[in-house]
Amino acid sequence: MKIAIASGKGGTGKTTLAVNLASYAAQRAKVLLADLDVEEPNSGIFIAGHLLTEKTIFSMVPVWQQENCLMCGRCTKLCRFNALLQLGEKIIVMPQLCHSCYACSELCPASALPMEGKPLGILRHLKSRDLDFIESKLFIGIEQAVPLISQTLEYMSGNLSDHELELWDSPPGTSCPVITVTNAADFVLLVTEPTPFGLYDLNLTVETMEQLGKPFAVIVNRLGIGNDEVFKYCSKRNISVWTTFPDKRYIAELYSRGELIYPEVPEFRQSLDTILTNLDKIREQL
């Protein structure tokens, strides 16, 4: 079962939930935790495991072969992403703008643009007892997150499909990277905080999930701050709030040191239990 953990707003506690839930559940079952926030993956800070595999992930981009080229200019006109330019008598490829559609390569009359792999980032696979941890990180300056996310998802479904539970830490926001992750999951947990910012961004994310037709539930973190508008909102929209986590400075301190919360805070464990119980029910329904 594949569960994406997402939030509209950054800093609501997505990663905190993902790492704690994954580590806790791994005490009893085979769990896969994937950090798909490829621009800024942070879960690795909390997971101590040994490295099994590290691989560079590539995207396919065209490479210009001068010898064959007829300088017809079709490729530069075709490309809708401005990834191909003519500079004097040369064709220049801008790999960071390329979306790997293969149009220029396959439509070139002279076969002068074969596709080759360009490094996007690194995928690391670590293991900590019954927890498998996958983290993908974009190289700095690579602008597109989606190709790395897609390939990481493919790697996981190809190599690691025997886990009872998969937890995917998603990027924040509501644009393409989040859509790619949540669209591929079976169920989505939306983490929010009970403040006006949290509510505003939750609403955007809820609308996204509804457009995608993805089943989801809400988790409210940092209960105690803000107000109860978020609960009223969920009640009005018939959205299930599975559990809450308290706003405690001690929790923030543990997080700041890169430590897990549940070993130290019993009420945190109770909330994790609630989530796992509810996930079992979802599994039966799916």
Instruction: Based on the shown chain and the rule CB under 8 A, indicate whether residue 87 belongs to the binding site for another protein.
Output: yes
**Look-up: residue for tokens 């988790």?**
219
Rounded least distance, CB 76 to another protein, Å:
10
- How many residues sit close enough to another protein to count as binding (CB under 8 A)? 65
How far, in Å, CA of 29 to CA of 209, rounded?
28
CB of 58 within 8 A of CB of 118? yes
Residue 141 or 266: which CB sits closer to another protein?
141
- When binding is defined by CB under 8 A, the residue of 54, 253, 267, 280 that contacts another protein is 253
Cβ proximity to another protein: between 165 and 188 the closer is: 188
Q: What is the dihedral of CA 54, 59, 60, 63, to 10 degrees?
A: -90
| CA 192, chain centre distance (Å) | 17
Report 169-228 residues binding another protein (CB under 8 A): 171-176, 179, 183, 195-197, 200-201, 204, 207-208, 211-212, 222, 225-227
Is residue 239 a contact residue for another protein (CB under 8 A)? Answer: no
Side chain identity at residue 195, one-letter code: T
266 binds another protein (CB under 8 A): no
Question: What's phi and psi for 61, nearest 5 deg?
Answer: -135, 155
Of 29, 70, 72, 107, the residue at the interface with another protein (CB under 8 A) is 107
Which member of 99, 248, 269, 283 binds another protein (CB under 8 A)? 99
Helix ranges (DSSP H) in 79-186: 103-107, 146-159, 176-184
Cα–Cα dist 240/228, whole Å? 15
| CB 173 within 8 Å of CB 8 | yes
Please give the C-alpha separations between residue 21 and each of 141, 242, 285, in angstroms, as whole numbers: 32, 14, 21
Token digits for 57?
């992930």
Residue 208 CB, nearest distance to another protein (Å)?
Answer: 5
Residue from 56, 66, 86, 157 binding another protein (CB under 8 A): 86
Nearer to another protein, 150 or 278 (CB): 150
Type and span of the H or E element at 126: strand 115-128
Select from 83, 120, 185, 191 the one that contacts another protein (CB under 8 A).
83
Q: Is 95 exposed, middle or buried (0-12, 13-18, 19+ CB in 10 A)?
A: middle
Q: Which residues bind another protein (CB under 8 A)?
A: 8-12, 15, 39-40, 42, 45, 78, 80-83, 85-88, 90, 92, 94, 96-97, 99-103, 106-107, 140-141, 143-145, 171-176, 179, 183, 195-197, 200-201, 204, 207-208, 211-212, 222, 225-227, 249, 252-253, 255-258
